Amino acid sequence: MIQLVLGGARSGKSQYAEQQASRTDKTVFYIATATAADNEMSERIQQHQQQRPEHWTTVEETHHLAAVLQQYAKPNRTLLIDCLTLWLSNILFTSTGETDEACFKAETAALLKILPTLAGNIILVSNEVGQGTTPMNAMARRFIDEAGKLHQQIAECSDQVTFVTAGLPQQLKQTS
């Protein structure tokens, strides 16, 4: 089963996804995509780590998400990926802010190819970033465009899509 959980910043999407993972009878692997580029992000990562159950296994992967999912996906496991938009920024832009087209194309293609074939439960968390004003910055516009396209492609192959606002989950897609 593939679940996509979308929401804005601080919407409760990660907490909802963690609740969904906890409700399965499967071993949970938490795939973390964030990088601690500054003190504030380090604190956010630490808060997320403290909120997770200690018996979950954490795997950190900032770029090669498809390979990690293929490695860890098993029928008796739930993989919780948090978050796709952080992963997208990691593969789309280099540390200097330049676009890394080759990495972006290869990694998104690999994810979209492997995702429907994975065993077990897959829960993907991502920020919905396209509901605000259009940014003046070309890099930000590109990011929003690519995130929107990625969300649509993942939603298409997902069994369940949930949008979380103010901690309230809204089911957008549910297949039997």
How does pLDDT run across 125-148, given as a tens digit for each residue? 999 998 878 888 888 999 999 999
What is the pLDDT at residue 48?
76
Q: Of the ranges 28-32, 34-38, 76-80, 168-172, which one carries the lowest mean pLDDT score?
A: 34-38
157 upstream amide cis, omega within 30 of 0: no
How does pLDDT run across 92-117, given as a tens digit for each residue? 987 667 788 889 999 999 999 999 99
CATH number of domain containing 60? 3.40.50.300
The residue range of the domain holding 165 is 2-123+153-174
| Two tokens, residue 136 | 């003046």
What is the pLDDT at residue 95?
67
- Angle subtended at Cα 68 by Cα 70 and Cα 154, rounded to the nearest 5 degrees: 70
Alpha-carbon dihedral sign for residues 6, 7, 8, 13:
negative
What is the pLDDT at residue 174?
95
- The confidence band for 41, taking pLDDT boundaries of 50, 70 and 90, is confident
- Counting the structural domains of the chain, the total is 1
| Two tokens, residue 164 | 């979380």
Helix (H) or strand (E) holding 51: helix 39-51
> Is residue 112 a part of any domain in this protein?
yes
With a CB cutoff of 8 Å and minimum separation 6, the contacts of 112 are: 153, 154, 157
Question: Which one is predicted more confidently, 36 or 66?
Answer: 66
Q: What amino acid positions are annotated as catalytic residues?
A: 48
Residues linked to residue 125 through DSSP beta bridges, in sequence order: 5, 82
| Two tokens, residue 91 | 């593969």
pTM listed for this prediction: 0.92
Q: Is residue 74 pLDDT above 90, yes or no?
A: yes
What is the pLDDT at residue 156?
97
> Is residue 25 a part of any domain in this protein?
yes
How does pLDDT run across 14-39, given as a tens digit for each residue? 999 999 999 999 999 999 998 777 77
> Is residue 20 a part of any domain in this protein?
yes
> Is residue 135 a part of any domain in this protein?
no
> Is residue 24 a part of any domain in this protein?
yes
> Is residue 128 a part of any domain in this protein?
no
> Is residue 113 a part of any domain in this protein?
yes
Q: Is residue 176 pLDDT above 80, yes or no?
A: no
Q: Dihedrals φ, ψ of 3, to 5°?
A: -120, 135
> Is residue 22 a part of any domain in this protein?
yes
What is the pLDDT at residue 134?
81
Give the alpha-carbon dihedral of 94, 99, 104, 105, to 10 degrees: -150
Helix (H) or strand (E) holding 10: none
